[in-house]
Amino acid sequence: MTEYAVRTQTDLKRLIRAAGACDDTIAECVKSIGVDAVVHAVMREVLDRTDLRGCPAAEVLFRLHGGAPPQSQGSDVVIRVADDGTVALATMSTASVTATVAQSLPEVVRSVFGPRGSASTATRVLQWTAESSPETFGRPDPAFETVRRLLDSIDRSYHASLAELCVRSGSDKWGVHQYPQHYERHFQTVRDRPLTILEIGVGGYDNPRRGGESLRMWKRYFPRAAVYGIDIIDKSSLSESRMTILRADQADPVDLARVLEITGPLDIIIDDGSHVSAHVIATFALLFPALRSGGMYVIEDLQTSYWPHFGGKAGVYDDMETSVGFLKAMVDGLNHAEIDNRAQASTDACVKGMHFYHNLAFLEKGENRDEGAPSWLRGL
């Protein structure tokens, strides 16, 4: 990562945290980062979230001001949707502006990056440029759909389901697998938090310019999160706002230590890497300590635990050198206080819950220090 990229991501994290506070706090953060930089960051996020496929061509001017009155410091930015479907962000409008959206910048920042339910349109003024005639009055302009989708991306940050975002992003977590239903069960309650997420495995195999579909899905599902991905192939060129890709071998302690220096403590870790049992187990040992209390560690594609090609063992179901055997032993750890003469494992006291689905496991980090049954009851 370049120094500029690090600084930009840091500023974005500051802005996201400020978006959950009052207008004065947001305004102070905007002033510190710079109005133009904030406006462009917010509108790039809007563009990233908006599915404009099939929309008519349009040029929408966003005039984002500092608050009331509208003459206070602000900045203009234009979203251009061409006839061929390409989308661009510009600073200059033309005579062909379809609509102008004027709104308070702090209000837009909160709507785009704030917690669930905080979106507001109190200061928004929408003006259509074209004058209607008696023949066209009351008939929807084709460009209405383009503007609607853009504004919905501001006002309804949490509307799309994970399965929808899977399909839009091209992730194989839906269709080939049926993971979104399980992910949403565990993640929907924390969707609006400023999380730090790490996914192991970027996709695209050996091609450095392919992959990142699932990372973009997570970025869109968690609109306030910083999303990181690692891959043994250098795919850093795929990085974008709120999504940073680092080269690292998932089983190399030196590589992972370097990754954690960049990410800091993690809230969610998803292992969708090599699926080799030895790698899965080694990665867990190295990364689980960096997971915050209350965080979730997810391991995908556990079917490989039964396939010898991936270090699994067909017909042997409790070998701790396989991914599933390793996890089964951790189930005993959940009940460690009830088991006499058991050698204590390092995870016994900090794995609070485990949830298993087809080829998928969730491990919840938290205090597991409940006392066991009284000794007199065990002897009955």
Catalytic center residues: 275
> CB under 8 Å to 22, separation ≥6 — which residues?
none
Kindly state the tokens that stand for 326. 């390793």
Neighbours of 114 (CB within 10 A): 23
Query: Under a CB-based contact definition with an 8 Å cutoff, are residues 91 and 78 in contact?
Result: yes
User: What letter would DSSP give residue 131?
Assistant: P
Question: Of the candidates 123, 244, 221, which has an alpha carbon nearest to the alpha carbon of residue 164?
Answer: 221
Cα–Cα dist 16/117, whole Å? 15
Other beta carbons less than 10 A from residue 309's beta carbon:
8
Phi-psi region of 311 (alpha: psi -120 to 50; beta: other; left: phi over 0): left
**Cβ proximity of 158 and 112 under 8 Å:** no
Please answer whether residues 227 and 219 qualify as being in contact, where contact means their C-beta atoms are separated by less than 8 angstroms: yes
| CA–CA gap between residue 213 and residue 256 (Å, rounded) | 22
Rounded Cα distance, 229 and 203, in Å: 10
Both structure tokens of 367: 């205090």
d(CA 219, CA 242): 7
Q: Which helix (H) or strand (E) holds 257?
A: helix 253-263
In angstroms, rounded to a whole number, what is the distance separating the alpha carbons of residues 349 and 345?
A: 8
